[in-house]
Amino acid sequence: MRFDLTDLRLFLHVVEAESITRGAERAGMALASASERIRGMETDGGVPLLERHARGVRPTPAGLAVVHHARLVLGQLEQMRGELGQYAHGLRGHVRLLSITAAAAAFLPDALAGFLAAHPSIDIDLEERTSRETVDALAGGLADIGIVADTTDLGALETVPLHLDRIVLVVPAGHALAQRGGVAFREVLDEPLVGLSHGRALQTHLATHAARAGRPFKLRVRLNGLDAVCRMVERGVGVAIVPEAAARRAAETLAIRAIPIDEPWALRRLRLCARRFAALPPHARQLVEHLVAHLGATEDPGFERTGPIAGPGPEP
């Protein structure tokens, strides 16, 4: 068998996405090239690696074996890359970070910008996912670290408290709800809504709570970013539910008001997670330490650490 690292990375993306098309997109590869590589892996191995269905693909038992070994190989490669990077300049490290919308759009950009400026040899692949998807990807070895809400079952992952996040209702300054001190989610669902595009983690989260309330979550318009959502609210198109940090930033330049949502799930503790922090490659541990230093300070007694951050460095 002549599997190379590109094959292994592609196969993991395909299995995680349950689709060759989406897996190819995540790998930055043309669909025809990705399909050819997958067929080549199956030919070289002499066994089907994927079961193909109308709605996508899933790994065969042989494919699961490839997934297991691919994670080990790529994990060891990143570990080696990180340790060698402490001795040799110019060797690039790569960290895959998954995050919910609240962090990815509201406060991570500034934190990551500082880290990347200080570490020019480290690249970060940031992807927005729901908390459940992030936990599954971390448990399966498909990402290095993730930021999730603690309302999700975190299983055996190690976690570090990172940030308190509140999602709020944003309305135009002259709206009937603008002077309210709080609003129930059911009331919000009676309003015309502006939201993010399909597949965004925040929209999935809100649609789930709407379904639990027995109501549809219908949007007048979907946009790609929170700033665009807030601008649309200012123009009177509708109201929106966004992270409080994003609302505060937008309110500095827009005539909008942020109103607390009176639901227990509207206030969330965000946690930084990994399978084992000590087992992360050095460059991933550096990112963890940076994020905790910049975002992790909190006085909330509900925040508890479930694993050490520091890990062993290279042997002297």
pLDDT attached to residue 257: 95
- Reported as a pLDDT band with limits 50, 70 and 90, residue 315 is very low
43-47, 82-86, 144-148, 192-196: the lowest-pLDDT one: 82-86
Q: Evaluate if residue 56 carries a pLDDT over 70.
A: yes
pLDDT tens for residues 101-158? 878 877 888 889 999 999 988 889 998 888 888 998 888 888 899 999 887 888 889 9
Mean residue pLDDT of the chain comes to 86
Neighbours of 255 (CB within 10 A): 12
Q: What is the pLDDT of residue 258?
A: 94
Average the pLDDT over 12-36 and give the result: 92
For residue 8, give the nearest of 35, 37, 30, 33 by alpha carbon: 37
At residue 309, does pLDDT exceed 70?
Answer: no
Q: In this predicted structure, what is the pLDDT of residue 231?
A: 95
Residue 83: the pLDDT is 66
Q: What is the pLDDT of residue 252?
A: 92
Across-strand partners of 161? Answer: 271
**What integer is the mean pLDDT of 24-28?**
91
Per-residue pLDDT tens over the stretch 149-162: 887 888 889 999 98
Q: What is the mean pLDDT of the segment spanning 73-88?
A: 72
For residues 191-209, give the mean pLDDT. Answer: 87
Q: Is the pLDDT of residue 88 over 80?
A: no
Higher pLDDT, 201 or 8: 8
The whole-number pLDDT of residue 1 equals 62
Per-residue pLDDT at 310: 42
Does 298 score more than 50 pLDDT?
no
User: Is a pLDDT exceeding 80 seen at residue 30?
Assistant: yes
User: Looking at residues 268-273, what average pLDDT do you find?
Assistant: 90
